[in-house]
Amino acid sequence: MSHPNEKAVKARLAKIAGHAKSIEKMYTDGRECTEILNQIAAVKSALNSVGKVILKDHMSHCIIEAAKSGDDNALDELYKSIDKLL
């Protein structure tokens, strides 16, 4: 299913992947631990942000459609996803 923020999410995920790869290089190159930790914190924050966007899209579209079709299981799956995300 297509989501309204699909293009932005894909761009953010690509950027996050690039940052994660740079963390590996920083570590391999022997950069300062504090620099590496700061980059890890930035990636974690970016993942949390993109997770929120995906969650909002899911609630705004998938859950509403599931409710309209009487899919009670969708809410249970949403709750499980939220628990894992948080």
Per residue in 6-38, pLDDT tens? 999 999 999 999 999 999 999 999 999 999 999
What range defines the domain where residue 57 resides?
6-85
Residue 80 located in a structural domain: yes
Buried b (16+ CB within 10 A) or exposed e, 6-23: eeebeebeeebeeeeeeb
Residue 1 located in a structural domain: no
Per-residue pLDDT at 36: 97
Residue 3 pLDDT exceeds 80: no
For the segment 43-73, what is each residue's pLDDT rounded down to a tens digit?
Answer: 999 999 999 999 999 888 888 888 888 888 9
Task: Tell me whether residue 25 is exposed, middle or buried, using C-beta atoms within 10 angstroms of its C-beta: 0 to 12, 13 to 18, 19 or more.
Answer: exposed
Residue 58, token pair as written in the block: 């899911």
| CATH code at position 30 | 1.20.58.1000
Per-residue pLDDT at 1: 61
Per-residue pLDDT at 63: 87
The number of distinct structural domains making up the chain is 1
